[in-house]
Chain A
Amino acid sequence: MNNTKLRVAVVGAGPAGLYATGELLKNGGYNVKVDLYERLPTPWGLVRAGVAPDHHDKKLITDRLFDFFIENPDVCFFGNIEVGRDVSHEELSDWYDAVIYAVGASSDTHLNVPGEELSGCWAAREFVAWYNGHPDFSGLEFDLSTERAVIVGNGNVALDVARILTMPVAELEKTDIADHALAALRDSKVNEVVLLGRRGHLQGAFHNPELEELEHLQDVDVIVEAEGLLSDSDAELADADWDTVRKVETLRRLAVRPITGASKRIVLRFLASPVALQGNGKLEQLVVVRNALERDDTGALRARPTQKQSTVDTGLVLRAIGYRGCPFPGLPFDDRRGVIENHLGRVGSENDAVPGVYVTGWIKRGPKGVIGSNKKCARDTVRCLLEDSAAGKLRAASLDANAVANILMERKPDLIQYQGWKKIDQQERLAGQSAGRPRVKLTHLDAMTECALN
């Protein structure tokens, strides 16, 4: 190995990009330099803009792990710059020995039912980004004057949203939830949140810790509408794995809890899918069909709609049935899976990889798993990259680190680097300190850049 360092651009400073950076530092033998590109002025991706404000523990990963990667002298953070707009993919692959895309899944799966375009129907993704102060979503206005909200889906995102909509505002005031969301939730009339699960209670998409959290909510009654839940025989559960049995036990405990007449309710409904949204100009009702389970050719349980339909009055429907990756200019896209086409993280097909271009995280494997799933994913991608480097398969970078930094600063006068981000971070924490909160987020690009660059 010569004394020139391997120069890698990582695109996206969320968990996938940070873990990729960490793996490069750890396994690159002190011989790697990473430039970390981020579209927003702030790093951390969905840890900042996705993880629920009341899950403060999970956010500790930024201070206890990711910050060590980003402040490493061999890592340069370039924020407020968008690859594909301010810098092209062709430029990056020319400037660096290798490029890793860790751009996540910026879209989501639609319901594809009539009326979805009515005002009052949103992606849970948008609502989450809004309450977490993502600058692209801070200006959204959710009408919380409806008494009932319906969330389609029952995964962890659905449960996060249900908690935020029903949690006492006094509890939210202790978190880093965006101020505009706090103000809107103070005036919220929502007192019931219904979660619709397409399949049965044995197939809930939630994880155990998130489901168990429902047992600890303050001033919220949780109603479980699952037929057969209490009468499932041991034989029916015998085929279920341990995780599922644990979920069923939690659902049973919730189902037999007395209703206390709390101010808010969360209703878990199963075997139910939306078929139409109705309303005069804005959403007023959701038509829901009852499903039955049947096995398909592969043996998997599928939900099949029955003839039984009912109507739910609601002014707010949030779809939470999965994120979806978007195509990236200049890179092959697998439209069926919603990922950049790749084999083991090498972009392209198994026999026809694009040299020096890699993916990791949701844009590689699809939107699933938890924060740490990205660590193994990044490890595997970085292994491929270092193998290719050792095998001489990478094209050498055309520019050195300084030359690239100069081009970026010239092209993007409001480029935000590590010191700039730290100013935002400090201001947010300081504002939080006086309010007894972890931080008070800056939620508009202007305020962020002003803080970072002054």
Chain B
Amino acid sequence: MAYVIAAPCVADYSCVEVCPVDCISPGPDDGQFEDAEQMFIDPDRCIDCGLCYEACPVLAIFSEDKLPEKWQPYAQINRQYFAQQQTGRTRR
């Protein structure tokens, strides 16, 4: 089980700053940050510690099993973000 960042995210990146395994992207110094709509959590690297959940100033982070109904797709969207980066399909 991983944490998932959903629609309310405002790209504050407090989550990136507290994540002990650096599994949240993009961070403020990544090239993609400027155009980022939101941050994403890599479900394969998330250790489910919950620090990001506490840190998020807009409560945009949910444990995957507690995602509100309307934001169910975000589990997949967080996963896809990292999958597309690996396949080299990057943002302009």
Contacts and interface: CB of A to CB of B under 8 A. Distances in A.
Interface in A351-408: 369-373, 375-376, 379
Given A242-B80, A371-B10, A371-B11, A61 B34 contact: no
Interface residues of B, number: 28
Contacts of B90: 241-242
Contact of A242 (B8, B34, B91): B91
B29 to A, nearest CB: 8
Contacts of B36: 370, 373
A243 interface: yes
Interface string B25-42: 000100001101110000
B91 A243 contact: yes
Interface stretch (A73-81, A208-216, A316-324): A208-216
B89 interface: yes
A209 B13 CA distance: 17
A57 B8 CA distance: 6
A61 B8 CA distance: 11
The majority secondary structure among interface residues of chain A is helix
Contacts, number: 72
Given A57-B8, A208-B37, A209-B7, A376 B59 contact: no
Given A57-B58, A60-B58, A241 B92 contact: yes
Interface string A185-208: 000000000000000000000011
Contacts of A216: 70
A61 B57 contact: yes
A58 B10 contact: yes
Nearest to B89: A242
A20 to B, nearest CB: 14
Interface of A: 55, 57-58, 60-61, 64-65, 207-209, 212-213, 216, 241-243, 246, 369-373, 375-376, 379
17 contacts: A55-B8, A57-B8, A64-B57, A209-B7, A209-B9, A241-B90, A242-B80, A242-B81, A370-B10, A370-B36, A370-B37, A371-B12, A372-B10, A372-B12, A373-B33, A373-B34, A375-B12
Give 8 closest A-B pairs by Cβ, nearest first. A372-B11, A57-B8, A372-B12, A371-B10, A209-B7, A65-B57, A376-B28, A64-B57
